[in-house]
Structure 1
């Protein structure tokens, strides 16, 4: 941890006992702000600090606290030989027996390159057992809304414990409580269905060409409309008239009391396994989304 990650306000200083190691000191020698007791009787370990990173993490006016926590907890895990799950289990829900939809070409390979373990599961087998073995669940656009509504309780429990959803949909009904009905954009002029990137803070579209939304050069299948995102969502891409854009892709964190709910990437259109279908990042879009969700879950990205 560099000094810059530990430079913010503090609430006092400690005298340094003989049994303690001083990690961070006041530059005029008046005491320590961060003590480590590595060899307590009985084998325990004690860390004391008058810094308060947890209370300021995410408040945006003190970003060094977030950088501190991102360095401190991985160090602490290594120091104590604690292995945390990598959140790399990706499940593709098979919703159509069309071969290109049942097991899309290139998907497993592109996810493997990103360090993700892929499983393919027929949608009617979805239940708690499958979700217990999943970190990110991908739902193609050919899904059965009535069936998924019958599994809503399981899916919400999955989100509540930190699981992530990637949903491709033009919803007719709110099969999850935060899903709104789909609205189509006006079909004319044709430029209304050209997708534009609005906010790429998660790096999903940064390495894709400008025509990422064209399947074999045809625009309009990526998305043809939008759903209203829930409060707090990040609006990622635009569709519709330039003067009246609508959210074609958005991402949102499921709210829980502890703030540890999973993330929902909502794509209001066709199966994203088709995009992009050309260029150096062929079949790269789904992997980019999955990587962003994993980084959010691991605390490597801020929402």
Structure 2
């Protein structure tokens, strides 16, 4: 069976266009959050959560999520953390000012998801800064900071990996495959996000 990632849908809206090729390739499956079952965590390699996720539900599944991460599962989280579903999580911290200089972003650490993609591609959308993020989710202990925002380079993107291959990729803003005006960039980000989410359990199975 082809390893796959679950895209957790918060409603019955259409799948975002950048993710459609991943669905067609069998690397992505869609499940409505209200239909998410404990057994889904056993068979999927990764989970992708949109910025519209019901975090009350995720908080209630904290034990299942911890077990998923402990067995190599990976989660891509978009949006503002409001409820902790992993031990040590803290709520989203908004920027104290929304001036354009405070919304500037900078890559802090190279990462496969962003390889070859200029930060300017994500700096503004339709000429307006701030779509990428307007604050940050404080990183878990041991996380790698990937993208900073504002003069203090607050971690709007970060990655937290466990020794067994499981982990969390956090983007503290709108869904990361939709924050560029360039459709090709959005599709490439979507492809790489899915690849990252698959890597933990698939590599563990191959070992």
Q: TM-score range by the shorter chain?
A: 0.7 to 0.9
Q: Quick one: structure 1 residues 118 and 277, their matched pair in 2 at CA, closer, same or farther if it must change by over 3 Å?
A: farther
CA distance in 2, matches of 1:178, 1:126: 24
TM-score (norm 2): 0.86
Equivalent of residue 155 in structure 2, options 247, 270, 275: 247
More helix by share: 2
CA distance in 1, matches of 2:185, 2:26: 17
Q: How does 1:197-216 map to 2 (within 5 A)?
A: 197-200=107-110, 202-209=111-118, 210-216=120-126
1:176-212 Cα deviation digits (max 9, x unpaired): 2232111011224312112211111x32212323222
Q: Quick one: structure 1 residues 116 and 191, their matched pair in 2 at CA, closer, same or farther if it must change by over 3 Å?
A: farther
Q: Quick one: structure 1 residues 218 and 133, their matched pair in 2 at CA, closer, same or farther if it must change by over 3 Å?
A: farther
- Of structures 1 and 2, the one scoring higher in RCO (CA 8 A, sep 6+) is 2
Instruction: Report the counterpart of residue 4 of structure 1 in structure 2.
Output: none
Report the CA distance between 1:148 and its aligned residue: 1.1
Q: Quick one: structure 1 residues 277 and 283, their matched pair in 2 at CA, closer, same or farther if it must change by over 3 Å?
A: farther
Instruction: Report the counterpart of residue 10 of structure 2 in structure 1.
Output: 95
CA distance in 1, matches of 2:57, 2:201: 27
- The structure that has the greater radius of gyration is 1
Q: Quick one: structure 1 residues 278 and 222, their matched pair in 2 at CA, closer, same or farther if it must change by over 3 Å?
A: same
Q: Quick one: structure 1 residues 260 and 119, their matched pair in 2 at CA, closer, same or farther if it must change by over 3 Å?
A: same
CA distance in 1, matches of 2:202, 2:41: 18
Equivalent of residue 129 in structure 1, options 33, 39, 42: 39
- Number of equivalent positions: 203
Report the CA distance between 1:299 and its aligned residue: 5.5
- Note if 1:108 corresponds to 2:20: yes
Instruction: Report the counterpart of residue 188 of structure 2 in structure 1.
Output: 284
Q: Extract unaligned runs of 5+ from structure 1.
A: 1-84
Q: Answer whether contact 2:75 2:169 (CA < 8 A) is retained.
A: yes
Q: How does 1:263-274 map to 2 (within 5 A)?
A: 263-274=167-178
Q: How does 1:92-241 map to 2 (within 5 A)?
A: 92-97=7-12, 99=13, 102-109=14-21, 111=22, 117-200=27-110, 202-209=111-118, 210-241=120-151
Instruction: Report the counterpart of residue 275 of structure 1 in structure 2.
Output: 179
TM-score (norm 1): 0.60
Report the CA distance between 1:213 and its aligned residue: 4.5
Q: Quick one: structure 1 residues 279 and 179, their matched pair in 2 at CA, closer, same or farther if it must change by over 3 Å?
A: same
CA distance in 1, matches of 2:148, 2:187: 21
1:70-117 Cα deviation digits (max 9, x unpaired): xxxxxxxxxxxxxxx87x3011100134x3xx41123121x368x661
